[in-house]
């Protein structure tokens, strides 16, 4: 066990200490990044929208033509066991499936007799500290150099890693990925903008990973009568926005107050978290306490 990974972990049908979990160096996840993953938030030891997360896992497996090693009920049993064994009330459950370990390195799929590798573990779910949230964070824009199936939650994340590292090296929290003049998402988050009181979100396409938190925010907007526009967000619209948010299960709703070194928004409140973002954060907290923590 480490401060970030609880014992036991799950590996290919067994629950065992992390220190005893071993995977072949010939595993295709290691050699090629040939696999998928899913992250499920847990609140008060209750997995949030596990059905939706497992459906997204299956969709990604289908997208890369990889057989799911477990049934939906099988995955649920794994998740429950991991939650029970972890010391934290709020958790993040990580699931990963690779195409397994053949006896050689070959780009083509291995024989059907090679079983997938299934791995899962629990970590603490740590959200943004209040002092960071009240000030907002800085972000940069970078070219989106990923492949054309960004809707698949695959483990080959090198382009995202490099983009995020570029942001970190510039003292920023996130990199916004730009493709053909449009903002798609963050390196590890979805992005929303606010313009003239309207919440704007990029549409779900093959060039964006649809987040579960993204869905929750749109549901909360509809529930509270907040005007929404789902459409591609041009770079000029991003830079002229009144507010920009990054969202994920750990970031929740976090204001981006500086973009490429310039304050977001206009007027005396430029460079500060905006009112709609603060309102959405409160709606999200209410939803978390009344729904997420109830299972």
Q: Which residues are catalytic?
A: 153
Task: Say which residues have a Cβ less than 8 Å from residue 200's Cβ, sequence separation at least 6.
Answer: 192, 193, 194, 228, 229, 230, 231, 233, 237, 241
Chain-centroid distance of CA 166 in Å reads 19
- Tell me how crowded residue 83 is: count the other CB atoms within 10 A of its CB: 19
Q: 276, 264 in Cβ contact below 8 A?
A: no
Residue 189: strand pairing partners: 186
Task: Say which residues have a Cβ less than 8 Å from residue 103's Cβ, sequence separation at least 6.
Answer: 26
For every residue of 69-99, DSSP letters joined together read SS-HHHHHHHHHHHHHHSS-SSEEEEEEEE-
- CA-to-CA distance for 88 and 137, rounded, in angstroms? 27
Q: 93, 120 in Cβ contact below 8 A?
A: yes
Q: Find out whether the peptide bond into 8 is cis, omega within 30 degrees of 0.
A: yes
Which whole-number Å values give the CA distances from 76 to 39, 50, 57, in the listed order? 13, 8, 12
- CA-to-CA distance for 207 and 285, rounded, in angstroms? 29
| Tokens at 59, concatenated | 């969709």
């Amino acid at each position: 066990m480490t401060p970030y990974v609880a014992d036991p972990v799950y590996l290919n049908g067994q629950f065992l200490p992390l220190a005893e979990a071993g995977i072949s160096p010939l595993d295709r996840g290691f050699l090629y990044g040939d696999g998928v993953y899913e992250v499920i938030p847990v609140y008060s030891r209750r997995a949030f929208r596990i059905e939706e997360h497992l459906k997204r896992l299956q969709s990604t497996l289908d997208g890369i033509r990889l057989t799911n090693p477990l049934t939906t009920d099988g995955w649920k049993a794994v998740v429950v066991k991991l939650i029970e064994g972890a010391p934290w009330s709020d958790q993040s459950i990580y699931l990963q499936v690779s195409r397994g370990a053949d006896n050689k390195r070959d780009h083509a799929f291995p024989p059907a007799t090679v079983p997938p590798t299934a791995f899962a573990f629990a970590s603490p779910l740590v959200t943004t500290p209040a002092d960071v949230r009240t000030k907002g964070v800085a972000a940069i824009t970078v070219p989106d150099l990923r492949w054309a199936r960004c809707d698949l939650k695959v483990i080959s994340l090198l382009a995202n890693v490099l983009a995020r590292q570029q942001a970190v090296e510039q003292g920023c929290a996130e990199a916004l990925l730009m493709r053909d003049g449009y903002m798609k998402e963050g390196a590890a988050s979805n992005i929303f903008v606010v313009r003239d009181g309207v919440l704007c979100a990029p549409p779900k396409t093959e060039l964006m990973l649809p987040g579960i938190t993204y869905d929750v925010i749109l549901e909360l907007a509809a529930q509270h009568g907040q005007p929404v526009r789902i459409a591609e967000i041009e770079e000029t619209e991003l830079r002229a926005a009144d507010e920009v948010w990054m969202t994920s299960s750990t970031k929740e709703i976090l204001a981006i107050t500086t973009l490429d070194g310039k304050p977001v928004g206009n007027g005396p409140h430029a460079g500060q978290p905006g009112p709609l973002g603060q309102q959405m954060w409160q709606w999200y907290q209410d939803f978390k306490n009344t729904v997420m923590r109830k299972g």
